[in-house]
Amino acid sequence: MNAELCGLNALACEVLDIEANAVLKSKRVINSDFERAIDLIFETQGRVIVTGMGKSGLIGRKIAATFSSTGTPAYYLHPAESTHGDSGMITKNDIVLAISNSGETLELLNLLPYIKRLGVPIISMTGNLNSTLAKAGDVVIDISVEKEACPLNKAPTASTTVTLALGDALAMCLLKKRGFTEEDFLMYHPSGALGKSSTLHVRDLMKTSNLPIVTRDMLFTDVIKIISEYKLGMAIIAENNKLTGIMTDGDIRRTLLKYNDISNLKIEEVMTVSPKTVLADDFATKALHLMEKYSITTLAVVDNEQNISGIIHIHDLLKAGVI
């Protein structure tokens, strides 16, 4: 490796160190002002209007997108366009999140009188606590950093990373405060793999007929044959169609290692008696999460009274694109 490349690698590491340290040091702003910002947004009847110019604007777009996808309606407003008619999107029910590291961005300052006339609360995210933007804010979140990751200390790097991280912190606190659930999140992402996750339920993918259901008094050796025949890696043990246990390929291996003589062994002696299950109305992603968490490939589907509804296999999930 030549000297120039070594120098660039070192610079890259330095950039990451500076930005990581800046984010960690930004914990200092998690205080009563930050809590007040959360409360103001939570209590807002309208939307969060996020505005910022240049790099701050790009970060603002992402913050607005994160808010919107996690239960807090938000919209990005370009400050330069705002004074040419777009400010009309701000209503008296909204709240403004204004971002400017210097706090003196002209295009942003030109918007402030209109916001003030509407009586809309302002959350100022700025690195200059003595700036015009800071003084205009009902709440101020300090995004200042000791230095940028840019070798010239000019290009917004560490400061934009800190702004983005604090925006994420606001969004996640609001998510928690609203009781926003996984189902809510999936509902807001109707396209791609997430979309399939939000629209597909276990009932859409499970097998409901020709199931390997056996009784607890059957011989272990007979159940092995049934598991092999159905090729699902499991058999369901049931009594009057109520789940009492399962037998899996893993159970078979453990049984063979434990017993020398299996000729008269009954399935009830070696079955798993409290298996993991899902409901037909559960999202397909719940089934996948259980399979991943417990390293299993098949789940029994039951109702609230433990009546057997079907079986879902990991292959069913993969074929449907629930990944």
Give per-residue pLDDT as tens, 247-273: 999 899 999 999 999 999 999 999 999
CATH label of the domain that carries residue 260: 3.10.580.10
Query: For a pLDDT cut of 70, what percent of the chain falls above it?
Result: 92
CATH label of the domain that carries residue 161: 3.40.50.10490
Residue 144 pLDDT > 90:
yes
In whole angstroms, give the CA distance from residue 216 to residue 224: 13
* In a shared domain, residues 34 and 113: yes
Report the relative pairing of strands 213-214 and 122-126 from DSSP bridges.
unpaired
Domain assignment present for 188 = no
Domain assignment present for 14 = yes
Residue 91 phi/psi, 5° resolution?
A: -110, 170
* In a shared domain, residues 284 and 142: no
207 is written with which tokens?
A: 């097998």
* In a shared domain, residues 49 and 135: yes
Q: Which tens digit of pLDDT belongs to each residue from 274-310?
A: 899 999 999 888 899 999 999 999 999 999 999 999 9
* In a shared domain, residues 15 and 128: yes
Q: Read out DSSP for 207-253?
A: B-SS--EE-TTSBHHHHHHHHHHHTSSEEEEEETTEEEEEEEHHHHH
In whole angstroms, give the CA distance from residue 202 to residue 233: 18
Q: Which tens digit of pLDDT belongs to each residue from 17-46?
A: 999 999 999 999 999 999 999 999 999 999
In whole angstroms, give the CA distance from residue 231 to residue 211: 10
In what helix (H) or strand (E) does residue 100 lie, and over which residues does it extend? Answer: strand 95-100
Among 180, 212, 233, the domain-final residue is 180
Q: How confident is the model at residue 195 (pLDDT cuts 50, 70, 90)?
A: low
Model pTM score: 0.64
Residue 225 pLDDT > 90:
yes
Residue 69 pLDDT > 90:
no
Q: How confident is the model at residue 56 (pLDDT cuts 50, 70, 90)?
A: very high
Domain hosting 304: range is 202-319
* In a shared domain, residues 169 and 134: yes
Across 3-9, average pLDDT: 73
Residue 24's pLDDT is what?
Answer: 97
Domain assignment present for 143 = yes
Residue 83 pLDDT > 80:
no
Q: How many domains does the chain have?
A: 2
**Which residues, 6 or more positions from 136, have their beta carbon under 8 angstroms from its beta carbon?**
98, 112, 116, 122, 124
Domain assignment present for 192 = no
* In a shared domain, residues 37 and 171: yes
* In a shared domain, residues 133 and 223: no
Phi/psi region, residue 233 (left: phi>0; alpha: psi -120 to 50; beta: rest), is left
Domain assignment present for 241 = yes
Residue 194 pLDDT > 90:
no
Residue 192 pLDDT > 60:
no
Q: Is 247 exposed, middle or buried (0-12, 13-18, 19+ CB in 10 A)?
A: buried
Query: For a pLDDT cut of 90, what percent of the chain falls above it?
Result: 76
- Helix/strand/coil for 149: coil
